[in-house]
Each structure stands twice: as structure tokens, then as C-alpha cells.
Amino acid sequence: MDNLHLGNMKVSVLMSVYNENPDFVTKAIRSILEQTLSEFEFLIYNDNPNDVVLDRLISSFQVSDSRIRYFRNDKNIGLAASLNKGIRIAKADYIARMDADDIAFPNRLEKQWNYLQAHENVAVLGTWGCTIDENDLELYNIKNVCAHQDVFVRNIFSSQLIHPSVMIRKSTLSVGDFWYNESFACAQDYELWSRLLLSGLVIENLPCILMKYRLSSNQITSRKRDLQLFYTRQIYQVLIKALFNFHPSSEDIETHLDCCLQGDVYSLWKKSTWLQKLNESLPYDNLKERMREYTLLLLSQQKGFSFIDLIRYQCIFKRFSFYVMCSYIYHKVIR
């Protein structure tokens, strides 16, 4: 393809590779090159300079399509550092993330670009996704909340964005001096979204499935689960201190984590007491109803939670929720 003029470039797609299956990488690259929005550059960083197979594969694509800008790191520097290098040299106003083992739907870039053009207040835009296994078999859909206020509330507990689905305004990152935290070996995306939200920036999701998100044995969140939880605890510390104006103890953090993981380390009473404390401490009146509903939903998903508990805690939380009631009946009774 002919060189793309800078003035026509709409999106910089950013992807880092390390040791992914070459077949997966091939599918990922092709899914970007076949986008209905064609005015983009494709920045690919090889963070494993010793991998000759991936190097030859990506180089062959670069020869056939000039939109690809391929870089080999001199040594392994990690995902966050590779992404920051790409952000610094990106030429377009929007940066779209992509992972080397996922598959973008053909209209993904077009839909996200159109939405961000029409909604100048949105800094980061994710999408829904369909999970697939190593054989491309579809498993289940990920449909995170879409409205900014819902994303804000639920981010207190877990990331609401599929990282390789996001499109970000470059000005949000460069002008605001927001970068991926290179000291984080995992959960770099969750840490960045949390800082952006705490700074008052708007994050939303498009209610469309626009990518296939691969779950594999080589995925960082399954290979390094303990490390993921270590960094998640650090994010919780910052979020709770900033939003609720108190310093959470180590036990508070573990209770918070247990609520999110639906574990059984702490009792239902302990979790409900903690979630009530968060509700009472939240300073944003416009978010209190959403917070009550989501914490009630979290509580209803815990082990040992009964229908009697559902009625009782709706009274305690002062929030009757038809949505939570239906969710409980579906997950605990029907399914």
C-alpha cells in the first residue's frame, strides 16, 4: 500500500509482541490491515529480539504494507515500556491498542473513531469482546458497563476495559503526562485507567462486540496471577485513599479483594460491613445510587448468599434494585 500522508492519518494502532504463537500474530495483524477504516499507521514492537520467527513474520508484513512501522527492542523492556515508546512516536490523534493474539472485527477502528469524533469529552473508549480459546472457539462475551459513571464506580473494584479494545486520544496521554507505569509488571492498564479516572477524565465503552479476545495458557493474567494480585492491591490502596479519604488497612485491602474475587476468606458479614463503609464514605452524591447498587450486586454474588440475605441487605443498603434481584435469580436459581 502507498505511504499514507500524515494529514490523512486517523489512528495509530499500537501492538507489542513477545513470544506469541506466530499463527495468532498473523491473525492479529491481518485483522488490523483489513479494517474498513484504512487511514492508520500500525506500530509493532518486538520485545523479544531473539525470536527470529516473529521477526521474519512481521518483517514480511511490513514489506507488503507500508502502514506497518516495525521496531525491535535491543532487549526485553516489558509491555509498559514498549507501549510508552509507541505512544511517543505515534503520529495520529488517536491511539488504538491491539494485542498480538487477539482479532479485531473489520469495523472496530471505524466505529471507535466515529464515536470519539462525535464525543469530544471522551478520553478513552473501549468495546465489548468475545472470548476465544487457542483453537478460535468462541467461549463467552465480555460486556462491561458503558456509561462513564458506571465505569467510574466499578473501577473501584476491577478494570472495566478490555485493554486491547481501547482507543485513546493521544493528547490525553501526552499533554496530561499520562503514561503506562513501567514499574508495574502486570495490571499496567488498570493502573492507568485509575489515574485517568481520578483526574476527572471520561472513560466509556461502546456497547458493541468489536474484537475476539483470546484466553490462552500463555496469557499474562493466568501465568502470573500472584503478581497480578500484588499490583492490584497497590491500585486499591491508591483508589480507596483518593476516593474515600481514609487509609485502608492491609485487612481492608484483603477484604476488598475477596469481594471482587468472590472468595471465602472473609465472612459475608465482614464483606457487607466493608462495602457499607465504602458507601457511607463516598463523597460524590451523583454516584451514591450507582455505588449502592453495584456493591449490593457484588454482595449477592458471594458464596453462601441467600435470597433472605438479598432482601435483608437491600434494606440495610437502602437500595431496592430490580436489576440485582433479577441477576441473583438468574445466577443462583436458573443457571
pLDDT digits (tens, 9 = 90+) for 126-182: 999 999 999 999 999 999 999 999 999 999 999 999 999 999 999 999 888 899 999
Same domain, 104 and 201: yes
Q: What CA–CA distances, in Å, run from 44 to 18, 97, 214?
A: 11, 11, 19
**Which of 183, 207, 222 finishes a domain?**
222
Residues in the chain: 335
| Per-residue pLDDT at 4 exceeds 70 | no
| Same domain membership, residue 173 and residue 44 | yes
- Give the span between the Cα atoms of 182 and 104, in whole angstroms: 26
Domain containing 118 equals 6-222
Residue 305 has what pLDDT? Answer: 81
For the segment 50-65, what is each residue's pLDDT rounded down to a tens digit? 999 999 999 999 999 9
List strand residue ranges (DSSP E) for 10-137, in order: 11-17, 40-46, 68-72, 94-99, 103-104, 122-132
255 part of a folded domain: yes
Within-domain flag for 239: no
Query: What pLDDT sits at residue 321?
Result: 67
Q: Does 108 lie in the same domain as 27?
A: yes
| The pLDDT of residue 335 | 53
CATH number at residue 11: 3.90.550.10
Does one domain contain both 179 and 310? no
Domain count, the chain: 2
The pLDDT of 78-102, averaged and rounded, is 97
d(CA 229, CA 233): 6
Q: What is the structure's pLDDT at 303?
A: 82
pLDDT of 296-332, one tens digit each?
Answer: 889 888 888 887 877 777 777 766 666 666 776 666 6
Higher pLDDT, 307 or 28: 28
Residue 216: band (very low, low, confident or very high) from pLDDT cuts 50, 70, 90 = confident
**Is the same domain home to 297 and 214?**
no
Which of 250-259, 289-298, 323-332 ranks highest by mean pLDDT? 250-259
Residues 290 and 305 sit within 8 Å (Cβ to Cβ): no
Last residue of a domain, one of 222, 237, 270: 222
Domain end call among 222, 238, 261: 222
Task: Clarify whether residues 25 and 174 are in a common domain.
Answer: yes
